[in-house]
Amino acid sequence: MKIIACYSNKGGVGKTATSVNLAYASAMAGRSTLLCDLDPQGASGFYFRVKPSKKLRNKAFFKDVQGFLDAIRASDFDNLDLLPANLTYRDFDIFLSRMKNSRSRLKKALMELDSDYDVIILDCPPNISLLSENVFKTADKIVVPVIPTTLSVRTFEQLNDFFKENEYQRKKLLPFFSMVQKSKKLHKDTMLTLRKNYKSLLKNYIPFSSEIEKMGVYRAPVMTFAGKNSAADAYSKIWHEIEAQVKIGK
């Protein structure tokens, strides 16, 4: 089982769209996949029309691992399940405080699924919180969408420094360009500069696309309704790049 976290310390970079579409690409590649919606602002669940159940809103819910497993919902697509946490900040804090020795507890809870999933994709909240740090330790790869603008690049560099300071494995970080507008000179220049500094940057990038925005209307991964669209295609290419870097198996 491989854990791929989708993380960005800056909002609005297409993180949830990435989680949703990569999870779908993984499932379509025949991998049994679980997408965990850990971001209270994220909308992974929304994109799959999955409602958080009444049980899920119950604070005592994440007390035990079985509860965690019971919360899983099948998506409408083969090989793809969801953990629609979608908790409020408050619930999320409770969730964290319950898992006191959270590093090992979270890892344990995830390992519990070992027999079930080939790939777990985590849609993480944007701030560096206790959970995020857990994720940095647990995940096999951390996919980071970066918009090729000065501000967005700066936040990626901050994340990189954070990893360095805390002695996390920087090789886990897999940045890629998101919402790219090739017509903008700034985008092109930034991409060129950043590629020189970060060899781990994925070759493929996600172009800015109105189709991705339409995911909110269709409430489905972009590949399902815009198969030949370049953004849809880019997600599966990015997924294949990730697959090539992690050995996926049970």
Partner 1 sequence: MDPFVFIFPEAASHKNFLKKLPHIREYTISLARGEKLPAVLLDTFDFELLESAKMLFQLEEKLLCFDVRAGRMVEQLAPKKWSFAADLPEGPVTSQLTGGSNLRAFLPVAEIEICLLHGLLLDDEEKTRARLSTLSMQRGQKAVGVGSTVYLRGYGQAHTDLCRWLEKLGAIACPDVGQVFSLLDIKRELYTAKPIVQIHPDAPARESAVMIINAFMQTARRNENGVAADYDTEFLHDYRVSLRKVRSVLSLFKGVFEVSATACLKEDFASLMQKTNTLRDLDVYLLNKEQYFSLVPAETHEGLHILFMHLAGERKKEHKSVSKFIRSKVYLEDIGRLEKLFADGLALAAGPKGQEKSLIFASGLILKRYAKVCKIARSIDEKTPDEVVHQLRINCKKLRYLMEFFAPLFPKDDLKALVKALKSLQDNLGNFNDYSVQQIFLRQILREKMSGFRGSELKVAESVGALTAMLNRLQNNERGQVMENFILFDSPETRTIFTKLFHTEASVHENNSLLQ
Binding residues for partner 1, per CB under 8 A?
Answer: 48-51, 53, 70-74, 76, 81, 219
Q: Tell me whether residue 73 or residue 188 sits nearer to partner 1 (CB atom).
A: 73
Which helix H or strand E contains 74, and what residues bound it? strand 73-74
What is the smallest separation between the CB atom of 222 and partner 1, expressed in angstroms?
18
Q: Between 74 and 192, whose beta carbon lies closer to partner 1?
A: 74
Q: What is the DSSP letter of 128?
A: -
Nearer to partner 1, 48 or 177 (CB): 48
Asked if residue 68 lies in contact with residue 117, where contact means CB atoms within 8 angstroms, the answer is no
- Using N-to-C axis directions, what is the helix angle for 130-138 and 89-98, rounded to 10°? 60
Q: How far is the CB of 128 from partner 1 (least distance, A)?
A: 31
Identify the residue whose tokens are 């209307």: 217
Q: How far is the CB of 76 from partner 1 (least distance, A)?
A: 5
Least Å from the CB of residue 242 to partner 1: 24
**Nearest residue (CB) to partner 1, 84 versus 175:** 84
Minimum distance of partner 1 from residue 221's CB (angstroms): 14
Please name the residue ranges forming H helices in 44-129: 44-47, 54-57, 65-70, 89-98, 102-111
Min dist. Cβ of residue 73 to partner 1 (A): 4
State the Cα angle at 113 between 99 and 22, rounded to 5°: 100
User: In terms of C-beta density within 10 A (0-12 exposed, 13-18 middle, 19 or more buried), how is residue 151 classed?
Assistant: exposed
In the complex with partner 1, which residue's Cβ is closer, 117 or 136? 117
Nearest by Cα to 22 from 232, 172, 244, 248: 232
The number of helices, as runs of H, and strands, as runs of E, in the chain is: 13, 7
Closer of 51 and 63 to partner 1 (Cβ): 51
